[in-house]
Amino acid sequence: MYKMKTKKFILAESQMPTAWYNVAADMPNKPQPYLDPRTRRPVTKDDLSMLLAEELAAQELSTERYIEIPEEVQAVYRIWRPAPLVRAEALERALDTPARIYFKNESVSPVGSHKPNSAVPQAYYNARQGIRRLTTETGAGQWGSALAFAGRHFGLDVEVYMVRVSYDQKPYRRLMMQTWGASCYASPTDRTASGRAALAAEPDCRGSLGLAISEAVEAALQDPAGTRYCLGSVLNHVLLHQTVIGEEAIRQMEMADDEPDVVIGCIGGGSNFGGIAFPFLRRNLCEGKRTRLVAVEPASCPKLTRGRFAYDYGDVAGYTPLVPMYTLGHEFQPAAIHAGGLRYHGAGALISRLLRDGLIEAQAVPQSETMRAGLLFAQCEGIIPAPESTHAIAAAIREAQAARIEGRPRTILFNLSGTGVIDLYAYEQYLAGRLTDSEPTDAEIARTVEGLGLLH
């Protein structure tokens, strides 16, 4: 008799995690400190507090193992959390694999991605400190829309500097931000000195993420009493907030009476990968488990597989502290792939240290393979994945194929970081056969990492 298998593993709201996990507590080697670019001294909590809410600055440097999720944050999480864990059975059948494939569905948030897991606590801690306005930058609009959504819940004004090209070409996330009441400006603007300088040099300037960061930072520093800046990835506190994903997934894998051999996530700055992987890493470090943890990057932006472990700026313009990270150099210009959220030149300090110490793995996948994987996933499981998330799917499929070839079953868990419904343009290009693959040459990478001192 056909035994009906459970498709989705759903936690009750009462089973939602009440603490985030801070991997820094258990790392054998802690990341090197951020450095002030002028003095080369380690950045302190007071330095960070000029830009970020104090509690977030404290979390950035914390080595406490668990940090409680405030009740007010849990209340907003409950709009969409706990997120389902889903068995991708139709995908398994299509691949004719003995592997069991599960995914954590983070696309169910109102924003369509994992990003509000951090936007909500960031807005909360700012509001609690009496801050009235948040500034941030956004490329394709994923982070900007998450912060707009979060800011609304705590009565904050949110000001988003959106790269001009995306502002013009991708109106839908801008409209999401405006629907949630945020102000969204096409960067460069005439609201800041850096924006005005860019416009003076080039009146038709189409903007860049680096420039948008400069504008958002400058706008925050203009009003030290009432405004702070927020960042959507890379920083330790952002990865901390995202661990709610992995904490739920551990409970849900228990419900499924299964245990992942490998946990996979795509990587831009590292927040959705760290979010799902770090709680499993805790079990490796503290309970002797041996789950493989795989971060998947685009072959066109291969910071983990081909970058240098060095101190580098977090932004193109060189305004941020120096971060110890795997980087392609802050001036590296990746190809214009559709997975815009994975085009960042470096990986956060925690991810980079863990890769350096062999505690996580990295893989690079070309764009056409990722979109092929995304299409197969959509046709089997129904959900159209974000172009970023298709990187994790492609790596999961590689694992499932290896399981078939080796005749060895295994359990695969990947993070579905977001929906692709607002990024259908990528699918249009793929279906029309217009997607290309590109990889930087060694010479190109050598040029942008030149001068970055090696770390150990």
Ligand X SMILES: *Cc1c(COP(=O)(O)O)cnc(C)c1O
* Interacting residue ranges for ligand X, rule: CB under 6 A: 113, 115, 142, 233, 266-273, 341-342, 386, 388-389, 417-418
Cβ proximity to ligand X: between 417 and 448 the closer is: 417
Kindly state the tokens that stand for 129: 């400190």
> Looking at the DSSP assignment, which residues form a beta bridge with residue 67?
20
- In angstroms, rounded to a whole number, what is the distance separating the alpha carbons of residues 169 and 105? 28
Cβ proximity to ligand X: between 218 and 381 the closer is: 381
Cβ proximity to ligand X: between 159 and 297 the closer is: 297
Q: How far is the CB of 204 from ligand X (least distance, A)?
A: 28
Residues contacting residue 384 through CB under 8 Å, at least 6 positions apart: 374, 378, 419, 420, 421, 424, 427
- In angstroms, rounded to a whole number, what is the distance separating the alpha carbons of residues 396 and 373? 9
Q: How far is the CB of 347 from ligand X (least distance, A)?
A: 8
DSSP output for 209-267: HHHHHHHHHHHHHT-TTTEEE--SSSSHHHHHHHTHHHHHHHHHHHHTT---SEEEEE-
Q: How far is the CB of 388 from ligand X (least distance, A)?
A: 3
- In angstroms, rounded to a whole number, what is the distance separating the alpha carbons of residues 331 and 450? 11
Cβ proximity to ligand X: between 91 and 342 the closer is: 342
Cβ proximity to ligand X: between 233 and 352 the closer is: 233
Q: How far is the CB of 276 from ligand X (least distance, A)?
A: 10
> Looking at the DSSP assignment, which residues form a beta bridge with residue 34?
none
Cβ proximity to ligand X: between 268 and 440 the closer is: 268
Cβ proximity to ligand X: between 135 and 142 the closer is: 142
Q: How far is the CB of 419 from ligand X (least distance, A)?
A: 8
Cβ proximity to ligand X: between 109 and 192 the closer is: 109
Q: For residue 119, give Cα distances in angstroms to 106, 144, 148, 173, 211.
A: 14, 9, 9, 15, 21
Q: How far is the CB of 428 from ligand X (least distance, A)?
A: 18
Residues contacting residue 2 through CB under 8 Å, at least 6 positions apart: none
Q: How far is the CB of 118 from ligand X (least distance, A)?
A: 9
The residue sitting closest to ligand X, measured at its beta carbon, is: 418
Residues contacting residue 99 through CB under 8 Å, at least 6 positions apart: 92, 399, 400, 403, 404, 409, 410, 411, 412
Q: How far is the CB of 40 from ligand X (least distance, A)?
A: 27
- In angstroms, rounded to a whole number, what is the distance separating the alpha carbons of residues 363 and 50? 37
Beta strands 308-313 and 322-327 are antiparallel
